[in-house]
Amino acid sequence: MGESPRFPPRERRRWAIRIVLLMADVVMLALATVAATMIRWGQLRHVQVLQEVGPTFTYVDLSLLIAFIWIGAMWVERLYDLDRVFWGTEEYKRVARALSLGVVVFIVATFALKLPGLSRAWTLMA
């Protein structure tokens, strides 16, 4: 009678699934930006966004920024809400809105950080 259940409680499983989904998205975003950097320059290290005097940002730094922006946009669109996952075409609309929001926020962030040397080809690929 006093035995513990075979599976963790439902809410704990739901949080575990959310974390797995989140980590999968982070990994895929990181791979996409690393691939964009490799395609554009053939290397990962020391590729700086700004060649002039001022703060130096590498494309690896921007990859992290992109990951946080898009994860935030996907969270805002409730793509990690397990009650709404796999709702057919509605989910595709939410993904499209999240990606669009991520692009807009990324463009605003690069403008705010004053990154004039940002490669448009890299940005498009990423």
Burial 8-40 (b: 16+ CB within 10 A, else e): eeeeeeeeeebeeeeeebeeebeebbeebbeeb
Per-residue pLDDT at 53: 52
Distance CA 96, CA 91 (A): 9
pLDDT at 4 over 80: no
Q: What are the φ and ψ backbone dihedral angles of 78, each rounded to 5 degrees?
A: 60, 40
Per-residue pLDDT at 17: 87
* Predicted TM-score of the model (pTM): 0.70
Per-residue pLDDT at 24: 92
Per-residue pLDDT at 68: 85
Which value, to the nearest 10 degrees, does the dihedral of the CA atoms of residues 51, 105, 63, 77 take?
Answer: 180
